[in-house]
């Protein structure tokens, strides 16, 4: 099974993007929507299946992992785990976009941008060199700017894309300057080389390295929509087409965490930089502030889409505990558990958050408003997708109806085991608060009476399949969580061993 090239998932994303553009020029307009959606959906699904196949075959699960392009990229359990997330989320978004794009003129461009952004994200997860980190991050970011501004006749979409672009460009500039400072202090961009330089001493360049590391962390916080670099997220998610909001809030966030995990753990081991920038304790503070700001802001929203946007910021705070807990006194096994738990949560979050945003896209297709009140009584006309949305809301809150319950439980338990019981307690309080605003959606769907009669019109098949499929996986993960947990903890263990 492993005779395929190690970068097969990445090649599939690239081939999908090129095939879409070629098909767009070769076939008549009347046949393009079905063909283009089929190419994009098949390519994304093959990426997810190939990644799962490689994981099952043990690719990257050994001490010596395949390094490609002179060590610029590495194929290990973590890169494959995250690539599976990107392929799965892209598949769901493509299914939902089939109906969302009906009547659009730029379908091939839309799907190809999704494939190229996902390609950049998968390369971010495999990047083993700061130059590769920056190039792959830009490959993921540039198509995302275009996707957010895809609705060119919609002022909100264009404004969101412009804001996202300007803040993203500033973030990239800060990050690349940080990379240059790290190179100036260590003389290398390879993560293993940086760690070796730290072991040998920096000859008085600790302050230069510290400033560079702070700038790198700022870039990671922007990509993961964490406080204080979170303010772009609600604007971008609200203005973007709802399927793209799902894609960016799930896949892009996971990519940001993937690159942060690798760079910080392998390039800047805590025991070597504790006297310069103790990033573990930095993330303790950022995790608390991020989850608290996200949840309290979400609780004050009346717009469902903005509520989900702030909710995604809160979940970034939970995942940051995976990095924060590495500062504790726990052994490598405990650290692997908590870092693996953060990866587990990102996988489950990829399905339940994507599904929630796709439900919003379905509501937009039906010309339903965006407030909680606009959703009143919707379950009477669309019971199946309303059940799916209920699953997403309760699973995001951490109730035992989906995999979100187990991923949060393992994450909180691992944090306690790492010696940060008070951090887990703060996260539990925030999670309890989130139940308030998630339950408002459920209450509107099932209990409240609609203010007026409405005609939903036809039921878009692609969106229905995507929403119900995401809900089915979310529920299934509650009963088939062991393979996910084993893969994540194994990948985290190898990552930590490489950073020792």
Assign 3-class secondary structure to 201-244.
CCCCCHHHHHHHHHHHHHHHHHHCCCCCCCCHHHHHHHHCCHHH
In tens, the pLDDT along 74-104 reads 998 899 999 999 999 999 999 999 888 887 7
pLDDT at 496: 87
Cα torsion for 39, 59, 418, 297, to the nearest 10°?
-10
At residue 412's C-alpha, the angle toward residues 274 and 263, to 5°, is: 40
The residues spanned by each domain of the chain are 8-498
Half-sphere exposure of 411 (CA within 13 A, CB side): 32
pLDDT at 228: 86
Q: Extract the tokens encoding 155.
A: 């002022």
pLDDT at 500: 44
Q: Quickly list DSSP for 441-457.
A: HHHHHHTSPPSS-----
Separation CA 199–CA 454 (nearest Å): 67
pLDDT at 400: 92
Instruction: Report, in angstroms and rounded to the nearest whole number, the Rg of the chain calculated over CA atoms.
Output: 22
Q: State the average pLDDT for the chain.
A: 89
Long-range contacts of 147-156 (CB under 8 A, 24+ apart): 147/110, 147/113, 147/114, 147/117, 147/240, 147/241, 147/244, 147/247, 147/248, 148/236, 148/239, 148/240, 148/244, 148/248, 149/240, 150/106, 150/110, 150/240, 150/241, 150/244, 151/241, 154/239, 156/238, 156/239
């692997």: which residue's tokens?
336
Q: Which portions of the chain are predicted below pLDDT 70?
A: 1-2, 28-31, 62-65, 203-204, 451, 498-500
pLDDT at 102: 81
Identify whether the C-beta of residue 32 lies closer than 8 Å to the C-beta of residue 108. Answer: yes
Separation CA 40–CA 247 (nearest Å): 14
Query: Where are the strands (E) in 270-320, listed by range?
Result: none
């998968």: which residue's tokens?
122
Query: Which CA distances in Å does 289 have to 73, 250, 339?
Result: 33, 20, 20
In tens, the pLDDT along 5-42 reads 889 999 999 999 999 999 988 876 656 788 899 999 99
Separation CA 385–CA 395 (nearest Å): 15
pLDDT at 63: 55
Helix, strand or coil, per DSSP, at residue 303: strand
pLDDT at 204: 67
User: φ and ψ at 229, to 5 degrees?
Assistant: -110, 40
Closest CA to 311 of 416, 404, 409, 241: 404
Kindly report the pTM of this predicted structure.
0.94
Number of helices (H), then strands (E), belonging to the chain: the values are 20, 2
Q: Extract the tokens encoding 213.
A: 């590391």
pLDDT at 10: 95
């Amino acid at each position: 099974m492993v005779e395929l090239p190690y970068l097969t998932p990445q090649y599939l994303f690239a081939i999908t993007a090129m095939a879409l553009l070629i098909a767009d020029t070769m076939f008549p307009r009347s046949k393009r929507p079905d063909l283009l959606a089929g190419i994009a959906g098949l390519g994304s699904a093959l990426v997810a299946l190939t990644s799962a196949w490689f994981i099952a075959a043990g690719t990257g699960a050994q001490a010596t992992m395949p390094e490609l392009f002179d060590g610029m990229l590495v194929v290990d359990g973590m890169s494959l785990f995250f690539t599976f997330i990107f392929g799965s989320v892209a598949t769901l978004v493509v299914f939902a976009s089939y109906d969302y794009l009906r009547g659009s003129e730029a379908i091939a461009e839309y799907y190809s941008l999704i494939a190229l952004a996902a390609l950049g994200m998968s390369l971010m997860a495999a990047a083993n060199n700061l130059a590769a980190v920056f190039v792959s991050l830009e490959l993921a970011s540039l198509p995302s700017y275009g996707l957010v501004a895809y609705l060119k006749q919609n002022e909100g979409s264009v404004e969101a894309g412009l804001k996202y672009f300007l803040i993203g460009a500033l973030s990239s500039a800060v990050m690349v300057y940080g990379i240059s400072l790290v190179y100036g202090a260590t003389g290398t961009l390879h993560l293993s080389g940086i760690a070796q330089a730290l072991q040998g001493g920096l000859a008085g360049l600790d302050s230069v390295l510290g400033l560079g590391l702070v700038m790198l962390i700022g870039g990671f916080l922007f990509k993961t929509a964490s406080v204080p670099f979170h303010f772009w997220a609600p604007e971008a998610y609200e203005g973007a087409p709802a399927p793209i909001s799902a894609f960016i809030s799930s896949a892009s966030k996971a990519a940001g965490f993937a690159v942060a995990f690798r760079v910080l753990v392998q390039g800047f081991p805590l025991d070597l930089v504790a006297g310069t920038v103790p990033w573990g304790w930095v993330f303790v503070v950022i995790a608390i502030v991020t989850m608290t700001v996200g949840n309290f802001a979400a609780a004050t929203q009346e717009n469902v889409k903005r509520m989900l946007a702030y909710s995604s910021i809160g979940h970034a705070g939970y995942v940051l505990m995976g990095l924060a807990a590495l500062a504790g006194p726990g052994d490598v096994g405990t650290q692997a558990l908590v870092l693996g738990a953060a990866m587990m949560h990102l996988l489950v979050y990829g399905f339940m958050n994507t599904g929630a945003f796709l439900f919003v896209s379905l509501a937009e297709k039906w010309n339903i408003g965006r407030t909680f009140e606009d959703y009143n009584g919707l379950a009477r006309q669309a019971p199946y997708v309303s059940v799916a949305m209920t699953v997403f809301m309760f699973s995001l809150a951490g109730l035992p109806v989906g995999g979100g319950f187990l991923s949060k439980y393992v994450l909180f338990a691992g944090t306690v085991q790492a010696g940060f019981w008070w951090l887990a307690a703060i996260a539990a309080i925030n999670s309890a608060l989130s139940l308030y605003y998630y339950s408002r959606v459920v209450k509107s769907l099932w209990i409240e009476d609609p203010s007026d009669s409405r005609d939903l019109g036809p039921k878009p098949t692609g969106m229905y399949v995507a929403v119900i499929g995401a809900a089915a996986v979310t529920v299934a993960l509650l009963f088939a969580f062991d393979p996910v947990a084993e893969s994540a903890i194994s990948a985290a263990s190898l990552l930590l061993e490489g950073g020792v």
